[in-house]
């Protein structure tokens, strides 16, 4: 039988420590890559000069609400004839990033 959750070691980008739960996980985009942080490491990183290279958190309430809003905008834009298909396609990028964060990191944690 297969396990419900596949074991995967997720290490913080800043301190290299193990991230044990989704409550302590913050995923963010550092140019072209989705990286995991401890919550405290992420806030320290946001106060440093390196913060200019880091996006807002992908996961958590902010990420989920943003994703729901974008899904609604994409659905609405599909019914507006003046919106080109490539604008709608471009809008799906944040949805794909949110989904990637879940597939790569969040689904492996409690
Ligand atoms: Zn850390």
Domain count, the chain: 1
Task: Please say whether the dihedral angle defined by the alpha carbons of residues 8, 11, 12 and 18, taken in this order, is positive or negative.
Answer: positive
In-domain check, residue 8: no
In-domain check, residue 9: no
| Domain encompassing residue 63 | 22-108
How far, in Å, from the CA of 91 to the mean position of ligand 1? 31
Question: pLDDT tens digit string along 73-83?
Answer: 888 888 887 77
Using a CB cutoff of 5 Å, list residues around ligand 1, an ion: 12, 14-15, 17, 38, 41
How far, in Å, from the CA of 30 to the mean position of ligand 1? 15
In-domain check, residue 5: no
The chain-wide mean pLDDT, for the chain, equals 88
In-domain check, residue 47: yes
Nearest to 58 by CA among 13, 95, 107, 6: 95
In-domain check, residue 28: yes
Asked if 6 contacts 108 with a C-beta cutoff of 8 angstroms, the reply is yes
How far, in Å, from the CA of 26 to the mean position of ligand 1? 10
- % of the chain exceeding 90 in pLDDT: 49
In-domain check, residue 74: yes
In-domain check, residue 16: no
What's the CA gap between 101 and 6, in Å, rounded?
A: 15
Question: pLDDT tens digit string along 46-67?
Answer: 898 888 888 889 998 888 898 9
In-domain check, residue 84: yes
């Amino acid at each position: 039988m297969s396990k419900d959750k596949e074991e995967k070691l997720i290490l913080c980008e800043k301190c290299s420590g193990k991230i044990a739960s989704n409550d302590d996980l913050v995923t963010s985009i550092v140019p072209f890559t989705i990286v995991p942080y401890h919550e405290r490491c992420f806030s320290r990183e946001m106060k440093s000069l390196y913060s200019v290279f880091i996006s807002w958190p992908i996961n958590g309430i902010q990420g989920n609400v943003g994703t729901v809003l974008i899904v609604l905008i994409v659905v609405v834009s599909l019914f507006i004839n003046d919106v080109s298909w490539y604008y709608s396609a471009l809008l799906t990028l944040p949805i794909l990033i949110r989904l990637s964060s879940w597939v790569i990191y969040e689904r492996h944690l409690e």
